[in-house]
Structure 1
């Protein structure tokens, strides 16, 4: 699930959220906004059985994927679009 919060100066806080139990292990969101660096934006446990991380992004189109323990890559079906290169979000 993606949540967008508009901020001052054409920036948006995007919160990436996943259930705690799927997938198991550590999950990071990686994308063009963090040079595809695993671990830089790791989702953290929150109340209600979810884990989240928030990233402040400039206006534009951003590509991202999730990377889970064991090298498992997956996309976000709540993104604006998904193509062979990953999930897309338009801000």
Structure 2
């Protein structure tokens, strides 16, 4: 798993690329506070090497909670996240990204 950040000089936005290796998966989405935890809002594109990837524009000077949703059944955190925070609703940690 990997996260890359590219800050734009012309806008208060950071381009964040989310990627996860899920060779056997058919569908992966990233869900989080930036998209109201909507599984359909941010699908990742599967590359030939089995990595799923997408890039989002996120407002700078914010923190966002997120997880990957794999094949609509498995939630996974990103080991490259800036941190983790407990979520009582899910009874599990969520990944955190600071931009």
More helix by share: 1
With normalisation by structure 1, the TM-score equals 0.87
- The size of the alignment, in residue pairs, is 90
Where does structure 2 lack aligned partners over 5 or more consecutive residues? 88-93
With normalisation by structure 2, the TM-score equals 0.81
Secondary structure of 1:76 counterpart: coil
What does 1:29-68 correspond to in 2, within 5 Å?
29-59=30-60, 60-68=62-70
Where does structure 1 lack aligned partners over 5 or more consecutive residues? none
Structure 1 residue ranges (4+ consecutive) displaced by more than 3 angstroms after TM superposition? none
Aligned-residue CA RMSD in angstroms?
1.5
